[in-house]
Amino acid sequence: MTVMEQRGAYRPTPPPAWQPRTDPAPLLPDAAPYRVLGTEAAAQADPGLLRRLYAQLVRGRRYNAQATALTKQGRLAVYPSSVGQEACEVAAALVLEDRDWLFPSYRDTLAVVARGVDPVQALTLLRGDWHTGYNPREHRVAPLCTPLATQLPHAVGLAHAARLKGDDVVALAMVGDGGTSEGDFHEALNFAAVWQAPVVFLVQNNGFAISVPLAKQTAAPSLAHKAVGYGMPGRLVDGNDAVAMYDVLSEAVRHARAGGGPTLVEAVTYRVEAHTNADDDKRYRADSEVTAWREHDPIDLLEKELTARGLLDEDGIRAARDDAETLAADLRARMNQDPALDPMDLFAQVYAEPTPQLREQRAQLRAELAAEAEGTH
């Protein structure tokens, strides 16, 4: 008889204090991703919101193209493209109030720009002139995070602190499908649920962690299902449907702001381009798969809805593209100027007051620079 069989014979009754704390049913995500575009519900969507989303998607697509071109010119060290994921990026920024905070990962430059950060400053990390180009406090945008999922507990701590201070601030934290395997993902979700912190976790499931497909990343029915184990609602949404993204994220933000605690949102989307310019995606996926997803393009989906409702015509499309072109031209022009770098910045802000050791090293570099300037070095 196996151990399992022996245990089967002995069925302990839980002690009286034990009760399930939460009915898991309301926390479970729907079986299929939530969609609006292409359904009857789309007719209810606010025309102003649709237009706003559309303009941002078109800008986002053009920004992605321009940034990728800049890597080919050597102006950016690397660029992780979010082509195909623009609806997630744009919705994440647009659902937040000014006082809220965004915690992006390295692929989320677009969300950072949609939040109002200067496009050049948003690319500083990837250009390589400094780690963070913008002041996080100015736009309430945390630095782009390169280690996976480590920014999630920051979002929890910030949201928790805000609530302790009595501020109705929400933090929205972004992570990829690969990031959900990291320990920090688990710890952040657990802390958020225990503390009922006003946080929204947005997982952009774009199919691959560099080359590793979702099937090798998790055995869970969906990433949204993971929420149930923490005691928070999980929501599954079509990440290429900008309206659905906006709906689900706004609902999660409202829920958090009202004191309802965190939500885990899984956006099912696809990374149409390679992980970065350094990646060869032909080694791990078929062209046919990419083509199928290109046909489920977030801009096309929204454009169809807008056109069908008479909210967009050729002139409107051209206007959106012109606006995006202006953004790209400005980005190109400014990125083609060499950034002014001060080597002495290396020692700035390691500590509030430099240690004696750093003061010595600073003096050394200053002397080297002076010698270089005099041509004696």
Partner 1 sequence: MTTVALKPATMAQALTRAMRDAMAADPTVHVMGEDVGTLGGVFRVTDGLAREFGEDRCTDTPLAEAGILGAAVGMAMYGLRPVVEMQFDAFAYPAFEQLISHVSRMRNRTRGAMPLPITVRVPYGGGIGGVEHHSDSSEAYYMATPGLHVVTPATVADAYGLLRAAIASDDPVVFLEPKRLYWSKDSWNPDEPSAVEPIGRAVVRRPGRSATLITYGPSLPVCLEAAQAAEAEGWDLEVVDLRSLVPFDDETVCASVRRTGRALVVHESGGFGGPGGEIAARVTERCFHHLEAPVLRVAGFDIPYPPPMLERHHLPGVDRVLDAVGRLQWEAQR
For residue 107, give the H/E element and its range.
none
Q: At 132, list the tokens.
A: 């963070």
Return the number of other C-beta atoms located less than 10 Å from residue 243's C-beta: 25
Distance CA 288, CA 278 (A): 22
Query: For residues 142 and 223, which CB has a smaller minimum distance to partner 1 in the complex?
Result: 142
Q: At 353, list the tokens.
A: 């007051």
Q: At 360, list the tokens.
A: 């010595």
Shortest distance in whole angstroms from residue 191 CB to partner 1:
5
Shortest distance in whole angstroms from residue 356 CB to partner 1:
6
Q: 280: which strand partners? A: none
Shortest distance in whole angstroms from residue 16 CB to partner 1:
23
Residue from 75, 127, 255, 271 carrying the catalytic annotation? 271
Phi, psi of 332, rounded to the nearest 5 degrees: -60, -50
SS3 assignment, position 309 = coil
Closest C-alpha to 297, from 224, 250, 247, 242: 242
Q: Are strands 208-209 and 212-213 parallel, antiparallel or unpaired?
A: antiparallel
Distance CA 243, CA 247 (A): 6
Shortest distance in whole angstroms from residue 164 CB to partner 1:
6
Q: Are strands 263-268 and 234-238 parallel, antiparallel or unpaired?
A: parallel
Query: For residues 161 and 370, which CB has a smaller minimum distance to partner 1 in the complex?
Result: 161
DSSP string of 159-199, one letter each residue: HHHHHHTT----EEEEEETGGGGSHHHHHHHHHHHHHT--E
Shortest distance in whole angstroms from residue 345 CB to partner 1:
8
Query: For residues 38 and 157, which CB has a smaller minimum distance to partner 1 in the complex?
Result: 157
User: Is 271 marked active-site?
Assistant: yes
Residues that bind partner 1 (CB under 8 A): 130-132, 135-137, 142-143, 147, 150, 152-162, 164-165, 171, 183-184, 186-188, 190-191, 194, 345, 348-352, 355-357
Shortest distance in whole angstroms from residue 41 CB to partner 1:
36
Query: For residues 58 and 149, which CB has a smaller minimum distance to partner 1 in the complex?
Result: 149
User: Is 284 marked active-site?
Assistant: yes
Distance CA 20, CA 39 (A): 37
346: left (phi over 0), alpha (psi -120 to 50) or beta: alpha
Closest C-alpha to 263, from 189, 195, 204, 205: 189
Query: For residues 31 and 352, which CB has a smaller minimum distance to partner 1 in the complex?
Result: 352
Distance CA 230, CA 319 (A): 46
User: Is 225 marked active-site?
Assistant: no
Q: Which residues contact 111 (CB under 8 A, 6 or more apart)?
A: 88, 89, 90, 92, 93, 102, 104, 174
Shortest distance in whole angstroms from residue 137 CB to partner 1:
6
Residue from 35, 52, 254, 284 carrying the catalytic annotation? 284
Task: Name the residues annotated as catalytic.
Answer: 271, 275, 284
